[in-house]
A and B are shown apart, each in its own frame.
Chain A
Amino acid sequence: MSDDGRPWASRFRPSTLNEIAGNERAVGQLRGWLRSWEKGPPERRAAFLYGPPGVGKTCSVVALANDLGFDLFEVNASDYRTKKRLDELVGRASMQTMTITGKRRMILFDELEGVSGREDRGGISAIVSLIKGTRVPIVLVATATGEMWEDKFGPLVDLSLVIEYRPVPFSAILRRLREIADELGTQVEEEALEHLAHRSQGDLRSTINDLEAIARGAERVTMAEAEVLGERDRSDYTPDALMKMFSSKTLMDARRVISSSLISYDTLFDWIYENLPVVLDDSGDLAEGMDALALADIHQTRGRRSQEYRLLKYMFNDMTGGVALSRSRSEGAGLVKLVRRKVAELGFQPSSFTITERPEGLQIKPVRYLGDDWRPFNSALRGMGAQWVREGGYWNVPYFRPPQLIWRYRKTWHSRRRLRSVAERVAERCHVSTREAVAEVIPLLKVIFKEDASMAKQISGWLELDDKETKWLKS
């Protein structure tokens, strides 16, 4: 590949699947879904890809289109402000399965997060009706985290195969950087590459930009040069911003997280809530910190209800300063304690692992070969956001994990839908409200369905439940 003057992030943008770093599972899901179109339109005619920036969401769509021979029709945020505009632009494309050149077509909606606020509601509903009628695969891409997932994209998510992209693992980023350096014939010190990979926080695109900043035109790059990048004044990746916030000693320092972090204050709130019990490992601190967060929530509710957005500053003070300054007796060893407890719970000796604090997270290395014990331990740690780093033979547990809300809502999407439909049946047949059905009757039905097949059969006949609902009660 010649140096054509393009920025490296675009020059080294993967054009085939093999070049995509990380997110193998997500890419596999997307690929499987696209392949399923060969047998005619599948049940879900759209795929919804979401995740942090620079992890290869759009890249993988482009690469897959190349690999599978699709003609890609790209639509950007500015194109879907209104239904009319969208119909003009995409309506016909979604009905033609083939292009003039005989290629199969596929439609990509990029930067979906750009659809914001009420004026765009038309936009979302226009996409919804497109999905319902489309004859070609539609891929939706959003750099999205946080609660808005349920609210804003709810109607889209309902119709789509939802695929989550995660930050690219440290090791995959390191590998890709090395490949690029080799291809360029530039000698980059291993330490420098590691420094870059660590700074990346899983954002491969920005890391390639960083590499370009120090290596373009150079024959050798040393650690000293990489360090110059230091604290580049780009907005902080959330975990870094949180780290600063939790160690603040003044209200003003703590509040800085609101403006310096990449994400909305709503999402930031969720991050703080998720991680606060790990950081504040003293009960007194925790109660105080949670109190501050609960008050922040109250201020926000008041602001929203009265439409007086000046009230939000009180929310910011509580959720940042209120939380950070409640830290007085905590040792900041919550994560270590948590890991130790997991170790003990699974029946290991504390000496079976070494636990080291590293900048990128807690490094947990087994002292001996784990054999079959690896799996349960792996899944326990994964629950804490850990990743197994094969090269080093250790797990890396990040100090801060993303809010679990999205993940939880996603995981329980179908189950909650069944819950609603069963609750309506129960409410009608048992003369109770659906709320009461959920709280009082369904939990008992679940016990019955698990324990007594013949009674279950009778009840499901009586409630006129379908197979899926019956199965849900049994699960």
Chain B
Amino acid sequence: MSSGMWAEKYRPQNLDDMVNQTEIVSRLKNFVKDRNLPHLLFVGPAGVGKTTSILALAQDLYGPGYRSFILELNASDERGIDVIREKVKNFARTAAISSEVPFKILIMDEADSLTSAAQHALRRTMEIYTRTCRFCLIGNYSERIIEPIQSRCSVFRFSPLSEKDLKGRVRTIAKEEGVNLIPEGLDAIFDAAEGDLRKATNLLQAAAATQGGEVDDIAIYGVLGRVSPGKVREMINLGLKGEFLEAREVLRALLIDEGLAAEDIIRMIYSEVLRLGIPEKRKVQLSDAIGEVDYRLTQGARSEIQLSALLAKLALAGEEMC
């Protein structure tokens, strides 16, 4: 099997291949055995096997031709609920041809990013097509999914991967790919991945690309410095040093050149600020300021202006701490 990205190459293909989330997996296996399943709601942090589970279930259920029985949508990429409804309609309208399984599966990733109005519309769609189509909704937080949908789904809560599981998996991939990953490197990957196996695997692959020999913590930090969170850290440090103009340049590069969503930048700023070596009270103050910007962005304010104002606050905080 040849695959460009290791995260895909080593994505478990069948439920039997899955080593984590054992309880969930055994319940999913029962669905396969029964040749039937309810609507599903998978919630849990990123990179712990939600998408993998449903894809594996589909392969077990439909066999090699499973692709024609599923439709993957990502709520954050679809332009409004009407587009989604149209796609669902077209997909669900044609009845499944499989003799044994009389329904198809619609996978809706990031379903928790839909507004509650959109979710209500989705709920009606789910009901209309329930005979020929099962929905698997995936999200990070179940609180963001409206009650009526939750009550129509079997809810599966995916737990974060343990350190042992995540490290074990990364070590296996490194071995298969002939990468000499030393423990310091693995620790660094674990710290950066925040429990996200996909992130960890991608990071390993990028570090392996930069390194002829062994992958150590320095290699990992080298890669991290070159990707978005690293640039966000650089921006924050420039801000704290009072070099506002340079910080703003980095911000522009992130927003325009690299096309990052403002929400992603603010999320990275937030997690970097919590890690800063500054007085705890400062962190609360800055968190407050970040929260204000975060809210303003949801209200349609211009992201560069609002984020720049935050950088100016960082510059002031940096000066006051001197």
Task: Give chain A's interface residues, CB within 8 Å of chain B.
Answer: 273, 277-278, 283-284, 286-287, 289-291, 293-294, 297-298, 301, 305, 338, 404, 408-409, 412, 415-416, 419-420, 423, 427, 429-435, 438-448, 451-452, 455-456, 458-463
Contact = CB atoms under 8 A, between A and B. Distances in A.
Contact of B209 (A278, A293, A451): A451
A283 B206 contact: no
A434 B308 CA distance: 25
B256 A439 contact: no
Given A273-B305, A432-B74, A447-B223, A278 B245 contact: yes
A161 to B, nearest CB: 21
A419 B209 CA distance: 21
A338 B244 CA distance: 11
B3 A462 contact: yes
A226 B162 CA distance: 80
Interface stretch (B12-20, B26-34, B128-136, B294-302): B294-302
B95 interface: no
B96 to A, nearest CB: 22
A289 B311 CA distance: 12
B303 to A, nearest CB: 10
Interface stretch (B97-105, B258-266, B270-278, B279-287): B258-266
Contact of A430 (B2, B5, B315): B5
Nearest to A302: B299
Interface string B206-242: 1011100000000000010011100000000000001
B257 interface: yes
A301 B300 contact: yes
B305 A297 contact: yes
Contacts of B296: 294, 298
B150 interface: no
Interface residues on B, range: 35 or more
A126 B231 CA distance: 43
Interface of B: 2-5, 7-8, 51, 55, 72, 74, 76-77, 109-110, 198-199, 202-203, 205-206, 208-210, 223, 226-228, 242, 244-245, 248, 252, 256-261, 264, 296, 299-302, 305-306, 308-309, 311-313, 315-316, 318-319
Given A298-B299, A305-B300, A433 B110 contact: yes
Given A290-B313, A297-B302, A462-B2, 15 more contacts: A278-B245, A283-B316, A286-B316, A290-B312, A301-B299, A412-B256, A427-B74, A430-B8, A431-B55, A432-B109, A433-B74, A443-B227, A444-B205, A446-B226, A447-B227
Contacts of B312: 277, 283, 286-287, 289-291
**Closest 8 pairs (CB-CB, A-B):** A462-B4, A459-B4, A452-B209, A443-B227, A290-B312, A294-B309, A287-B316, A290-B309
Nearest to A424: B77
B259 A297 contact: no
Contacts, number: 154
17 contacts: A277-B312, A283-B318, A293-B309, A294-B309, A297-B305, A408-B252, A409-B256, A427-B74, A430-B7, A430-B8, A431-B51, A431-B55, A434-B77, A438-B259, A444-B227, A458-B4, A461-B4
